[in-house]
Amino acid sequence: MEFDANIEHLQQAYWHILLVSGPVLGVALMVGLVVGIVQAATSINEQTLSFVPKLAIAMLTMALASGFMLTVMTDYFQTIFESIRAIR
């Protein structure tokens, strides 16, 4: 296997990591930003107030996006296994 092929596999892996984790992290970031603004506006500095909504929304996002995530990961692993089979 050549160096360029290894780089291509790494690029695909990083891209798929972004595709799978991006929706959950993006939603958690937005919820954290909104909760932080609300906390700053109301002067409420409760730790659980920032953690619980992010956890709940992140889990809901994972549940809703699980089909997309599974499809992306299945396609990626199918590509990887086909490339491993082609090495022989």
**pLDDT digits (tens), the chain, 88 positions:** 688 888 999 999 999 999 999 999 999 999 999 998 998 898 888 888 888 989 999 999 999 999 999 999 999 999 999 988 988 7
Question: Model's pTM, two decimal places?
Answer: 0.77
Residue pair 32/54 in contact by the 8 Å Cβ criterion: yes
| Domain boundaries, given as residue ranges, for the chain | 3-87
Helices (H) and strands (E) in the chain, counts: 2, 0
What is the DSSP secondary structure assignment for residue 43, as one 8-state letter? T
- Per-residue model confidence (pLDDT) at position 79: 93
Q: Which alpha helices (DSSP H) does 1-88 contain, by range?
A: 3-42, 47-87
- Per-residue model confidence (pLDDT) at position 1: 62
